[in-house]
Amino acid sequence: MLIHRLGRSWAVDPFNEDNQAAFEKWRIRPLNVIENLIDRSYAQIALFKPVLTTPHSCEYLARFPDARMFFVYRHYTDVINSSVKKFGPSDRLAHVDSWINDDFDEFAPIAPPETTAAMIRRLWKPYLSPESAAALYWLFYNSLYYDLGLAQDSRVKLIGYEPLVNNAGQEIKEACEFLDLKFEPRMAADIFATSVGRDDPPDMDPDIQSACEALWQRLQASLTEVVVN
């Protein structure tokens, strides 16, 4: 949603995950390809969404030191419900099982931080439910905000999905300010909060649920600290 909204500006050249010039099978192409796309763009900002390769975030920031990064998170219960509906019950199971069986080879040549990998190994169990697997998936990606040191990098802005949809005008205006981009009201038009807490919380493994809740509370505290500061 955020990349589409910011992409309403003529000053932004958006490259979503389905853009075949920048992505292959939802994964960002080699950075020399990305650098070429940036050089060819006439826009003020080239905006990419490499979610599946979030463990490579430090590489991106090192390659493009003037870049800015958004780290957007959403409450785990809504993410779990949405992912099981959208991708089916086996998708997240296949991902987390492959992480364990192949030692996170999916992210080669840059392995995720050992703290993140160790947490997933500790919480993983054979025959997880689809909901518990989706919860582990949420844990993995959102833990990277801390385990990669992104929380201490001034080039990274943390954004909560719930504040974004409940107060779109202010949140997107602040995102534009972070990018030195002119805010346009149409960026925040037609954003609704109807999906927040729409479905009942899913059943999941208690240990995984506790870990999700702890990380959620930590992210919320970090978001409040950023707003106050």
**CA count, 13 A, side-chain hemisphere, 15:** 23
- Give yes or no for a cis peptide into 206 (omega within 30° of 0): no
Average pLDDT on 75-91 reads 93
Domains along the sequence of the chain with CATH: 2-228 (3.40.50)
Q: Write out pLDDT tens, residues 166-179.
A: 999 999 999 999 99
**pLDDT for residue 193 is more than 90:** no
Average pLDDT on 87-110 reads 92
Mean model confidence pLDDT for the chain: 94
**pLDDT for residue 229 is more than 80:** no
**pLDDT for residue 64 is more than 80:** yes
What pairs with residue 72 in β-bridges? Answer: 159
Backbone angles phi, psi at 160, to 5 degrees: -90, 135
Average pLDDT on 90-115 reads 93
**pLDDT for residue 224 is more than 80:** yes
Average pLDDT on 104-125 reads 94
